[in-house]
């Protein structure tokens, strides 16, 4: 398991190639920095969680009009099965109307500006694409 901030080019291409036009959900496992660190070196008293919160607000403003929904977000309280309670601080499940909406987001200038808060706040994350075709 590797906790990183950005996908590789190969991961983006594979994500694009899997698209079906159907909605997708992205499972976000988040690890926050104790203190936010901005790439431009600005001084801040924000925690990593607080900086990520700024990103989250901008994300909602930019993406909600495009049909993106936050289905769930909350703190990780502990593992019931498996090991690694300390790997993640929070989890979110975000639904996108399609893969293309997420790909377009990555090129959106407003979104790219908001990314500064994401990068400042996150130690890393695991982002897992989920389809809608699994039935219990």
- Determine how many CB atoms are found less than 10 A away from the CB of residue 73: 13
Domain ranges of the chain: 20-130
Dig out the tokens for 43 from the structure: 């001084």
Residue 103 · residue 16 · CB < 8 Å:
yes
Fold of 20-130: Alpha-Beta Plaits (3.30.70)
Classify the C-alpha dihedral 44-45-48-53 as positive or negative.
negative
What predicted TM-score, i.e. pTM, was given to this entire model? 0.89
pLDDT in tens, 43-100: 999 999 999 999 999 999 999 999 999 999 999 999 889 887 789 999 999 999 999 9
Which stretches of 21-121 are assigned E, i.e. beta strand? 24-32, 69-75, 90-96
């Amino acid at each position: 398991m590797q906790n990183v901030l950005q996908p590789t080019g190969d991961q983006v291409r594979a994500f694009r190639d899997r698209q079906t036009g159907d909605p997708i959900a992205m499972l976000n496992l988040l690890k926050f920095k104790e203190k936010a660190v901005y790439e431009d070196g600005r001084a801040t008293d924000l925690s990593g969680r607080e900086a990520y919160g700024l990103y989250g607000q901008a994300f909602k403003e930019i993406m909600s009009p495009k049909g993106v929904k936050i289905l769930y977000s909350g703190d990780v309280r502990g593992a019931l099965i498996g090991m690694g309670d300390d790997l993640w601080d929070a989890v979110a499940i975000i639904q996108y109307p399609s893969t293309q909406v997420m790909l377009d987001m990555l090129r959106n200038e407003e979104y790219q500006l908001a990314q500064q808060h994401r990068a400042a706040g996150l130690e890393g994350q695991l982002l897992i694409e989920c389809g809608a075709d699994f039935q219990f």
